[in-house]
Amino acid sequence: MSSAERPTVHLAAEHVVAGYGEAPVIKDVSLEVSGGQVYTIVGPNGAGKSTLLKALLGIVRVREGRVVLNGQEITNRPLEHLAHLGVGYVPQSDDVFDTLRVHENLEMGGYILDAKRRAERIEVVLEIFPALKSMLQRYAGTLSGGERKMVAVARVLMPDPTALFLDEPTAGLSPELTRRVLEEQVRVLADLGKAVLIVEQKAEAALKIADHAMVLVTGTVALEGSGQEMRENPEVTEIFLGGGRAPAAPAPS
Amino acid sequence: MNLLIAAVGFGIASGAVIALGSLGFTLQFGLSNVLNIAYGAFLTLAVFIGLLLVNANVNPWIAMIVAALVTGLLSVAYYQALIRGLLRRGASLGSLVIATFGVGIALEYIIVSIFGPEVQSYGLQGGGTVNIGDITLSGLQVAVVVLACAIMLGLHLLLTRTTLGRAMRATSVNRTLARSCGIHTERVTQITWFLSGVLAGIAAVALAMVTASFDFTLGSTFLITVIAAAVVGGIGQPYGAMLGGLIIGLTTEISAAFLSPAYRDVIAFALLVAMLLLRPSGILGIQSRRHNVAG
Amino acid sequence: MGLGRIGSGRVLGGVAALVMLAVAGCGSSTTPSTSSQSSAKINFAVVAPMTGSMAMLGHFISDPCFAAVGAFNKAGGVLGHKAGCVLIDDTGDPADAVPNVTKGLSTSSNLVGVIGIDSNVAATVVPIINSAKLPMVSSNGLSFFLNHYYPYFWRMTPPDIAEGAATAIWAHKKGYTKIAIVLQNDVGDTGNLPGILSAMKNEGVKPVANLQIPGDSSSYDSIVNSVRQTNPQIILLSADTQTMATFLSNYKQLNNGNVPEVITTTQVMSPDFFNAITKDLGAQYLASKVNFIGAYLNQQTPQYVAYLDAMNAAKVQNASTVAATGPIGSLYDGMNVEALAMVAAGSTKGSVYDSYIPKVTTARPGAVVVHTFAQGVKELKAGHQIQYVGVVGPVAFDKYHNSNGWYAAFGVSASQQTSQLGSIGPTELSAALK
Ligand SMILES: Nc1ncnc2c1ncn2[C@@H]1O[C@H](COP(=O)(O)OP(=O)(O)OP(=O)(O)O)[C@@H](O)[C@H]1O
Ligand SMILES: [Mg+2]
């Protein structure tokens, strides 16, 4: 599945502890993802999935542990520096610039590029999302949920990032569209050599495209393994169907 | 002579100045979510910097530019020294209002101790009048309206056509997302505070030019009108500030001509209160969002 | 005279004006004599806005107190007591005035008399001072006191309506018939309106425009526009300095440089006003087209010389200009009247000497006319009745303790020297106010 030839991107989190207030939300989480791979994070609501992404990106302060990108430590690095290191991020909410037009959203996605390259990249992402061509002049805030997600993903692809952090990119999408985004976009992106770290509620669809996955429960790794293993692990199904109970981890309070 | 049309002319003339002042105020709110009450003192400061230069026989338009640039720099310094730190410490909107109010008073105090409390003037009166149909304006007012239109057009182009302008709007609406795109939002914010200081400077000097007489209370008095225009248009919205300025200018002048002139300035408050009751986000405000710099 | 007019309407600026006052040099009155605990010392209270946007007014009103107590002390004090001044801040805001003045009266020691007060707070504060049984002399012109009786309240100068009548009479004397009235919409300035209208009616003239305008607006374009449509020969204009300067500049701009003559009041007669008008309309306009109406102070009298000496001795800034304004002169007279009434009564107690106030001012056979405190004391000691005639001339109180008096019209030269142009007497005024 991976494109082995080119120098590949590598992201690692080592024993990360992070959170907002006194008690940490993320308690000693490690993960590793390389170019060509999809790493899926699933878990019940409030488990800390979004917080984990934010910690890796330096949005939420990491208190212990470290984050390493391509051998370079990026723990608590200012977020604006990461774009230059090839990191792209689609947040769970507020994932577009509402008061900017769609084409302006794309241009802001390509902020770090020069004007010529930016124009080229707009052509490229519009080929990936042809539906956007007809809504370039609309304000992103007026789009439907699915259209918004398209803009959000198109925006993040603008600078051709090598490491992608996607926080529920299919939220609000129909099952069919979810399948297509995951299989035809996310999986393909990984196949193009990018490292993809994706948080998903829709565990089954998300595990299907995963090379590796974890189940996060109350900020700790409850289960972890290859995509295949996780899909076949009955406990995973139980966590989701059984109301978020993880036998291998303390029950969420 | 038609009094209504004449009043519309005056309304446009005063609305142009209000719009400029309101733009600076609204940009600060849009980018930093700060109701900067000290803005009034910055207006006064610009007027007195202009006075220093005019008294030294500097051409008033050059004085305006210099005063605007100096005010812009002071505005950035003020942001760096005070506002940024308060925001980092998570200061609430309310405590920021109080802090900026305090700075405003201190600044006004300094201005008075340097320049005195007397009524001042640039002494530019006496230029001819321009008649366009029933509209009679002084040459100075026409020049100020033209200048304000040029600045608003320039700002429009900046916000919609340039990467910097879009980055300002992006930072305003979604700072985290902007940062994830590689935008140095801190620098964008500083530039915005510079721009807002420049706008304050131009508006204040233009106001002093056409008002003729002023004293150290110019800024704090004008601030009320500026805030009213910003709120009426939708706080944080540049086009709202422009529209709000025009609305306040027109309604005050028309009401002065047709209702009792004594209530001229009450109209601005009445509009402000009405807007807060009926549509708190202002005419151009986006109801679901708290604030932003729209495009 | 509407003392409540200076700077009113500047709400936000008020706080800063407070700070301003602390710094901007306030001449003698920044050093109020704190009431010493020595039992021999008596204090006069100056009730006026000491902070806020009208702080300048408090500063002016304090000057005659410091000048007068200086003269008393030089003459051996009042009944042997050394005299001082205590400043009580009425803030110019009725809401703050009541607690401030109540506190001020109760915490200041040995208070024997009061001067002062601006129009904005007079109606609420005068009753408080009255119930404290402290005689108060005032230059306030509020119409309210024309028919409300307070035994301890004495008005040294004619009320605002008389001032209004005087401005209209002066316009008539100058031969003008197309008269526009433009007044700032506060109690001090609009108080002149009934008098203006009454006098004009008496002359059979209708105003071509009659408008009230807000203070300190950034533009008066629409208002100016409707006034200039009526082609007035003269404008009776009463407002604060900045409002007048802005109004007139707007007029000049919109009317191709032609601004009609203006009659205003001595309230604004200060270098600040002269400079503002000179800068916007030219020294020529100021010198040839602006007249000021105010209480008549004859500057040629010996009492005026003594008054000016006392003002200078108290180190009042711009003493000769400040002294020339009616309200200040009348307050100085009021201080003398209170002190002489104490001497005549043999007591500094308000409830005792209050009834002696008319006894030292009313003209009557056998009363020796005196012009200063020292003279008065001398005559009283010699067992004579006295009539004090001060810088504002003789005063006669009616049953509401109002007095009438003379008005004068003043002009100012391009070099900012003021001069008296003519006068308007009580007979003319009462005819106009019928
Ligand atoms: N800004 C914040 N300040 C304080 N606590 C927060 C903040 N954001 C999230 N939390 C808390 O941290 C915990 C983890 O939240 P997080 O958003 O990471 O969960 P999640 O796994 O992404 O949930 P979901 O599936 O609902 O998106 C929750 O208890 C949440 O209430
Ligand atoms: Mg989440």
Class of residue A6 by CB neighbours under 10 A (exposed 0-12, middle 13-18, buried 19+): exposed
Contact call for residues C433 and C199 (beta carbons, < 8 A): yes
A92 lines ligand 1 (CB under 6 A): yes
| Closest by Cα among B12, B287, B262, B265 to B136 | B12
Give the distance (Å) from ligand 1 centre to CA of residue A45.
Answer: 8
Closest by Cα among B219, B194, B182 to B204: B219
In a 13 Å sphere around the CA of B157, the CA atoms on its Cβ side amount to 5
Please tell me whether the interface predicted TM-score (ipTM) of this complex is above 0.85: yes
Q: What is the pLDDT of residue B150?
A: 96
Q: Which residues of C touch B264 (CB under 8 A)?
A: 213-214, 217, 222-223
Answer yes or no: is B264 within a domain.
yes
Q: How confident is the model at residue A119 (pLDDT cuts 50, 70, 90)?
A: very high
pLDDT tens digits for C182-215?
999 887 788 889 999 999 999 999 999 999 998 8
Are 3 or more Cβ–Cβ pairs between A and C shorter than 8 Å? no
CB contacts of B118 in chain C (<8 Å) are 272, 275-276
Surrounding residues of ion ligand 2, Cβ less than 5 A: A 49-50, 92
- Domain containing B112 equals 3-278
What phi, psi does C385 have (nearest 5°)? Answer: -75, 150
Pocket of ligand 1 contains residue A93 by CB under 6 Å:
no
Place of tokens 């309200």: C327
On the question of pLDDT at A26 being above 70, the answer is yes
Instruction: Write down the residue that tokens 């049953």 correspond to.
Output: C399
Tell me the chain B residues in contact with residue C237 when contact means C-beta distances shorter than 8 Å: none
Give yes or no for residue C38 having a pLDDT over 70.
Answer: no
Q: Both tokens of residue C103?
A: 């506190």
Task: Check pocket membership of A49 for ligand 1, CB cut-off 6 A.
Answer: yes
Q: Whose CA is nearest to atom 29 of ligand 1?
A: A46
**A84 reaches B (C-beta below 8 A):** yes
Beta carbons within 8 Å of A215's beta carbon, 6+ residues apart:
A42, A43, A221, A222, A223, A224, A230, A236, A239, A246
What does residue B55 show for φ and ψ, rounded to 5 degrees?
Answer: -65, -25
- Which pLDDT score, from 0 to 100, does residue A83 have? 95
> At residue C8, does pLDDT exceed 60?
no
Residues in B touching C222 (Cβ below 8 Å): 3, 6-7, 10, 253-254, 256-257, 261, 264
Q: Which of residues 109-138 of A touch B (CB under 8 A)?
A: 109, 111-112
Cβ–Cβ of B181/A111 closer than 8 Å?
yes
Helices of type H across chain A: 49-57, 79-82, 102-109, 115-128, 145-157, 175-180, 187-191, 203-208, 227-232, 234-241
Q: Taking residues C32-54, report their average pLDDT.
A: 68
3-state secondary structure chain C: CCHHHCCCCCCCHHHHHHHHHHHCCCHHHHCCCCCCCCCCCEEEEEEECCCCCCHHHHHHHHHHHHHHHHHHHHCCCECCECEEEEEEECCCCHHHHHHHHHHHHHHCCCEEEEEECCHHHHHHHHHHHHHCCCCEEECCCCHHHHCCCCCCEEECCCCHHHHHHHHHHHHHHCCCCCEEEEEECCHHHHCCHHHHHHHHHHCCCCCCEEEEECCCCCCCHHHHHHHHCCCCCEEEEECCHHHHHHHHHHHHHHCCCCCCEEEEEHHHCCHHHHHHHHHHHCHHHHHHHEEEEEECCCCCCHHHHHHHHHHHHCCCCCHHHHHCCHHHHHHHHHHHHHHHHHHHHCCCCHHHHHHHCHHHCCCCCCCEEECCHHHHHHHHHCCCCEEECECCECCCECCCCCECCCEEEEEECCCCCEEEEEEECHHHHHHHCC
Contact A45 CB / ligand 1 (< 6 Å): yes
pTM, entire model: 0.78
Q: Which residues of B touch C250 (CB under 8 A)?
A: 212
Q: Of the CATH numbers 3.40.50.300, 1.10.3210.10, 3.40.640.10, 3.90.79.10, which one belongs to the domain with range A9-92+161-241?
A: 3.40.50.300
Residue A203 CA to ligand 2 center (angstroms) comes to 14
A6: pLDDT strictly greater than 60: no
What pLDDT band is residue A247 in, cutting at 50, 70 and 90? very low
Instruction: List C-alpha distances in Å: C350 to B168, C136, C138, C157.
Output: 70, 9, 16, 21
If one counts every other C-beta atom within 10 angstroms of the C-beta of residue B275, the result is: 21
The stretch C339-350 carries a mean pLDDT of 94
Q: What are phi and psi of A225, to 5 degrees?
A: 170, -170
Cα Rg of chain A (Å, integer):
18
Find the mean pLDDT for residues A29-36. 94
- Checking if the pLDDT of A253 tops 50, the result is no
**To 5 degrees, how large is the angle CA A199–CA A201–CA A204?**
100
List of chains touching A (3+ CB pairs within 8 A)? B
How many angstroms away from the CA of C241 is the closest CA of chain B?
7
CATH of the domain at B182: 1.10.3470
**Which residues of B make CB contacts under 8 Å with A?**
163, 166-167, 169-170, 172-174, 176-185, 286, 289, 292-295
Mutation site for B-interface testing, chosen from A95, A108, A160, A164 by largest number of B Cβ within 10 Å: A108
Residue A99 and residue B177: Cβ atoms within 8 Å? no
C54: closest CA among C45, C65, C62?
A: C62
Contact A80 B185 (CB under 8 A): yes
Per-residue pLDDT tens digits for B119-140: 888 888 666 788 888 888 888 8
Question: What local confidence, expressed as pLDDT, does residue B271 receive?
Answer: 80
Number of structural domains (chain B) is 1
- Decide if C53 and B113 are in contact by the 8 Å CB cutoff: no
Measured in angstroms, how far is the CA atom of residue A121 from the centroid of ligand 2?
29
- Mutate which of A25, A56, A220 for ligand 1? The one with the most ligand atoms within 8 Å of its CB, which is A25
- Give dist(CA C161, CA C316) in Å, integer: 30
CB contact under 8 A, C225 and B265: no
Tell me if C281 and B125 make a contact (CB, 8 A cut-off): yes
The pLDDT value given to residue A231: 85
How many residues are listed for chain B in this entry? 295
Radius of gyration of chain B (CA): 18
Candidates A81, A100, A155: best to mutate against B (most CBs of B within 10 A) is A100
Instruction: Verify whether the Cβ–Cβ distance A100 to B177 is below 8 Å.
Output: no
Residue B288: inside a domain: no
Structure tokens at C257: 């440089």
Weakest-pLDDT range from A32-36, B241-245, B290-294, C110-114 = B290-294
| Atom 2 of ligand 1: nearest residue by CA position | A20
pLDDT digits (tens, 9 = 90+) for C250-282: 999 888 889 999 999 887 887 888 988 998 888
Evaluate if residue A101 carries a pLDDT over 90.
yes
B290 in a domain, yes or no?
A: no
CA dihedral B248, B249, B255, B261 (to 10 degrees): 110
Residue of B nearest to C10 (CA): B221
Between C15 and A8, the higher pLDDT residue: A8
pLDDT bin (cut points 50, 70, 90) of residue C53 is: low
Whether B118 sits inside 8 A of C245 (CB atoms) is no
Domain assignment of residue B286, yes or no: no
Q: Do B125 and C280 count as a contact with CB atoms less than 8 A apart?
A: yes
Smallest CA–CA distance, residue B22 to chain C, in Å, is 15
Average pLDDT, chain C: 83
For residue C17, the model assigns a pLDDT of 32
Q: Is residue A48 helix, strand or coil? A: coil
CA dist., res. B13 & res. B249, Å (int): 8
Across A134-143, B223-232, C154-163, least confident range: C154-163
What pLDDT was estimated at residue B41? 96
Lowest mean pLDDT among B193-197, C74-78, C92-96, C109-113: C92-96
Q: With a 6 A CB cut-off, is A240 part of the ligand 1 pocket?
A: no
Q: Does A197 touch chain B (CB under 8 A)?
A: no
Supply the pLDDT for residue C25.
31
Option in A80, A94, A100 nearest B183 (CB): A80
Spacing, Cα A167 to ligand 2 middle (Å): 7
Positions in chain B whose pLDDT score sits under 50: 287-295
Q: Does the pLDDT of residue A163 top 70, yes or no?
A: yes
pLDDT surpassing 70 at residue C35: no
CA gap A202, A236 in Å, rounded: 12
How many Å lie between the centroid of ligand 2 and the Cα of residue A218? 12
**pLDDT band at C30, cuts 50/70/90?**
very low
C356-402 residue pLDDT tens: 999 999 888 989 999 999 999 999 999 999 999 999 888 888 888 88
Residue B284 included in any domain: no
| pLDDT score recorded for residue A136 | 96
pLDDT category, A54, cuts 50, 70, 90? very high
Q: Which amino acid is at A186?
A: V
A146 lines ligand 1 (CB under 6 A): no
Find where tokens 């201080």 sit.
Answer: C335
Tell me, what DSSP letter sits at residue A134? G
Using a pLDDT cut of 90, give the percent of chain A over it: 69
CA dihedral B239, B243, B248, B251 (to 10 degrees): -170
Cα of A56 vs centre of ligand 2, distance in Å, is 14
Contact B264 C13 (CB under 8 A): no
Contact between C265 and C141 (Cβ < 8 Å): no
d(CA C283, CA C413): 8
Please tell me if the CB atom of residue A218 comes closer than 6 angstroms to any atom of ligand 1: no
User: Is residue A242 helix, strand or coil?
Assistant: coil
In which order are the strands placed within the sheet that holds C42-48? C83-89, C42-48, C111-116, C136-138, C153-155
Instruction: Using CA coordinates, name the residue in chain A closest to B287.
Output: A141
